[in-house]
Amino acid sequence: MKILVANLGSTSFKYRLFDMETEEQLARGGIDRIGEDADSNCDVEIGTHSSEQQQRISDHAAAVQMCLDQLTDPEFGCLESVDEVTAIGFKAVFAGKLSGIRLVNDKLLEAMENLADVAPAHNPPYVRAMRQLQASFPNIPLVAALETAFHETIPAKYRTYAIPSEWTEKYEVRRWGFHGASHRYIGTRMAQLLDNDDAKIISCHLGGSSSVCAMRGGESQSTSMGMTPQSGLPQNNRVGDFDPFALRLVKRLTGKDYDELLDELSSQGGLLGISGVSNDCRDIEEAAANGNGKAQLAIDVYAADIKRYAGQYLAVLNGADAIVFTGGIGENSDVIRTKVCEEMTYAGIVLHAEKNQQRGGERLISADESKVQIWTVPTNEELVVARQTAELVEC
User: Which span (83-91, 106-114, 279-287, 310-318) binds ligand AMP, by CB under 6 A?
Assistant: 279-287
Nearest to 11 by CA among 34, 31, 28, 30: 34
Tell how far CA 64 is from the center of its chain.
Answer: 22
Q: Give φ, ψ of 338 to 5 degrees.
A: -60, -45
Containing 15, the helix (H) or strand (E) segment is strand 12-19
> How many Å apart are CA 327 and CA 307, to the nearest integer?
16
Chain centroid to CA 299: how far?
20
Spatial distance between the Cα atoms of 325 and 349, rounded to a whole number of angstroms: 14
Contacts of 317 (CB under 8 A, 6+ apart): 200, 202, 214, 216, 221
Minimum gap (Å) between residue 53 Cβ and ligand AMP: 23
* CB 284, min distance to ligand AMP, A: 8
At closest approach, how far in Å is the CB of 274 from ligand AMP? 14
At residue 345, the 3 state secondary structure works out as helix
- Looking at beta carbons, which residue is closest to ligand AMP? 328
Contact mark string toward ligand AMP, 201..230, x via CB under 6 A: ------xx----------------------
Of the pair 236, 389, the CB lying nearest ligand AMP is at: 236
Q: Which stretch binds ligand AMP (CB under 6 A): 95-103, 147-155, 280-288, 294-302?
A: 280-288
Shortest CB 243 distance to ligand AMP, Å: 26
Give yes or no for a contact between 265 and 242, defined as CB atoms under 8 angstroms apart: yes
Among the listed residues 66, 85, 133, 281, the single contact to ligand AMP using CB under 6 A = 281
CB closer to ligand AMP, 154 vs 277 = 277
Find the part of the chain contacting ligand AMP (CB under 6 A) among 141-149, 165-173, 240-248, 329-337. Answer: 329-337
User: Under the criterion CB under 6 A, does residue 282 sit at the interface with ligand AMP?
Assistant: yes
User: Of the listed pieces 183-191, 291-299, 310-318, 321-329, which binds ligand AMP according to CB under 6 A?
Assistant: 321-329
> Could you tell me if 310 and 316 are in contact, meaning their C-beta atoms sit under 8 angstroms apart?
no
Closest approach, Cβ 299 to ligand AMP, in A, equals 10
Would you say 55 and 42 are in contact if contact means Cβ atoms under 8 Å apart?
Answer: yes
Rounded Cα–Cα distance for residues 95 and 112 (Å)? 5
Which of 212, 320, 329, 349: binder of ligand AMP (CB under 6 A)? 329
Residue type, 78: C
Q: Is 328 in the site for ligand AMP (CB under 6 A)?
A: yes
Q: Interface with ligand AMP by CB under 6 A: which residues?
A: 207-208, 236, 280-282, 285, 327-329, 332-333
